[in-house]
Amino acid sequence: MKITVPKILDLKSERQITMMTAYDFPTSKAVSEAQIDIILVGDSLAQVVLGHDDTLSVTMDEMLHHVQAVTRAKPNCLVVADMPYMSYHNTKEEAVKNAARFIQEGKADAVKLEGGFKRKDIIEAIISAEIPVMGHLGLTPQSKNMMGGYKVQGKTLELATELLEEAVLLETLGCFSMVLEGVPSVVAEVLTEKVSIPIIGIGAGANVDGQVLVFHDLIGMKSKEYIDAKFVKRYANQHEEVVKALENFKKEVENKVFPTEHHSYEAGKITENDVKEWKKEIKKILS
């Protein structure tokens, strides 16, 4: 059954919520089959699929292209489209227009955006347009230049209190959930107790309402030299598996082991004699 926004709100008191990023049709199918609750078409697309160094350069059009691929698979998961950098940082009108593109053209169910106090008016405007919003607090990668890199946030009581105030603000504005990234577990636990909407953690410890990981981190679709963040758990080593498969393909083609008859089409009505005669004809034509 399709997961809805009200269902996500209910899950806070029922069980842990799972969220996974996906950026294409086959991954969307797999995530849905695994009965994950939410697909996030994250702006992490910029790094894990498009090869950028950070999330800042991915555009609305690029994000939309991938949201469409994900929703074409008709997953049962709630599909949340991540608003890219500068798609919601100017006017409220522009932010609502961009959020609505994800709903109308991308067929997403909701949008996610980073920030608290600074984004109050924008979040209010998007929710007024009947678009469900997932917030994102703590280590917000789009603010990496302001934060001086990817640094754990809320490490003093003063900063943790500020985070709590922002979480309460998101709840008051009507966000249906939020991502909490890169904060001490003890801080995440208090925020989770104090707000009524689900908090989905990444690098926020175990005592939150659910967990999200980036798909390519989880399946290990990363070359050896890539160093995972502390919060990543690899559940597979797909990069190595894929390299092995490609090496086997190369070897079999070079040694004429692949393709076999099994992978080839039969002659149909063409006999061996037909081929012999045909070759003679061709020789005449070409001479």
The residues annotated as belonging to the active site are 181
Q: Rounded to a whole number, what is the distance in angstroms from the first to the last CA of the chain?
A: 67
Which lies closer to ligand KIV via its Cβ, residue 96 or residue 201?
201
Would you count residue 18 as binding ligand KIV (CB under 6 A)? no
Query: In sequence order, what are the beta bridge partners of 181?
Result: 138, 202
Which lies closer to ligand KIV via its Cβ, residue 48 or residue 131?
48
Interacting stretch for ligand KIV, rule CB under 6 A, among 39-47, 62-70, 243-251, 274-282? 39-47
Would you count residue 36 as binding ligand KIV (CB under 6 A)? no
Would you count residue 170 as binding ligand KIV (CB under 6 A)? no
Amino acid identity of 213? L
Residues contacting 184, CB < 8 A, separation 6+: 152, 154, 155, 160, 205
Distance of CA 69 to the CA centre of its chain: 12
Angle between helices 92-104 and 120-128 (to 10 degrees): 50
Would you count residue 142 as binding ligand KIV (CB under 6 A)? no
Binding mask 111-140 for ligand KIV (x = CB under 6 A): ------------------------------
Least CB distance to ligand KIV at residue 21 (A): 4
Would you count residue 209 as binding ligand KIV (CB under 6 A)? no
Peptide bond into 259 cis (omega under 30): yes
Which of 198, 155, 152, 156 shows the shortest CA–CA distance to 179? 198
Q: Which residues bind ligand KIV (CB under 6 A)?
A: 21, 40, 42-44, 82, 179, 202, 212, 214
